[in-house]
Amino acid sequence: GQQLNQSPQSMFIQEGEDVSMNCTSSSIFNTWLWYKQDPGEGPVLLIALYKAGELTSNGRLTAQFGITRKDSFLNISASIPSDVGIYFCAGHNNNDMRFGAGTRLTVKP
Amino acid sequence: DGGITQSPKYLFRKEGQNVTLSCEQNLNHDAMYWYRQDPGQGLRLIYYSQIVNDFQKGDIAEGYSVSREKKESFPLTVTSAQKNPTAFYLCASSMVANYGYTFGSGTRLTVV
């Protein structure tokens, strides 16, 4: 199946720093989504992107749907300790959802 | 409040035994999904169902079985044919053609 390449695999940052992670694919997607997973829980949807070039914000989170439809990035500004978790990108086409391997974020107070 | 419930949270199974993981949703969602999560890997689709009494294999269906007798319920059976069943299992639901999946809190299965 289609593979999503998500990077970086992990990040260790200081509280207050900005964070950027991205996801690329060899295939195009009609929808890109970003989820956050807390330890031992299921992922929760953060942002959904439906149009190429779309830039969407949700509080301190900003995500963009790449023009080529093969990539997306997520930025977190002014990180706080509760941002800790695993962030997953997902691409969706025709009832087929593909997930990246995740970016594990650690925030040091 | 509406939501999706997985049970149990933790499950231990002896080798050679079948075990069933429960997933119930009261969101009136048409579609339900089962994913497997292993460390360092993305979520991999096991089975999905878009309508009652119908379901489709995902990428890693071998050694698993499902049923969809009610809209609210989508249980997953991990059979003895699954060679490496220890993993975190996630159930999700959505309206058909809605991309915002709602996930349950997962079941961690360990084979002992």
Quick: pLDDT tens for B37-76. Answer: 998 778 999 999 999 999 999 999 999 999 999 999 999 9
pLDDT band, very low/low/confident/very high, at B98 (cuts 50, 70, 90): low
Q: Does residue B104 contact residue B9 with C-beta atoms inside 8 Å?
A: no
DSSP 8-state symbol, B73: B
User: Which amino acid appears at position A46 of this protein?
Assistant: L
A7's CB contacts (< 8 A; 6+ apart) are A21, A22, A23, A103
CB contact under 8 A, A43 and B90: yes
* Number of cross-chain residue pairs from A and B with Cβ atoms under 8 Å apart: 54
Q: What is the pLDDT of residues A11-55, one digit of tens each?
A: 999 999 999 999 999 999 999 999 999 988 999 999 999 999 999
Is B89's Cβ below 8 Å from some Cβ in A? no
- The beta strands (E) that lie in B26-71 are given as 31-37, 44-51, 54-57, 64-66
Q: Concatenated DSSP letters for A35-90? A: EEE-TTS--EEEEEE-STT-EEEETTEEEEE-TTSSEEEEEE-S--GGG-EEEEEE
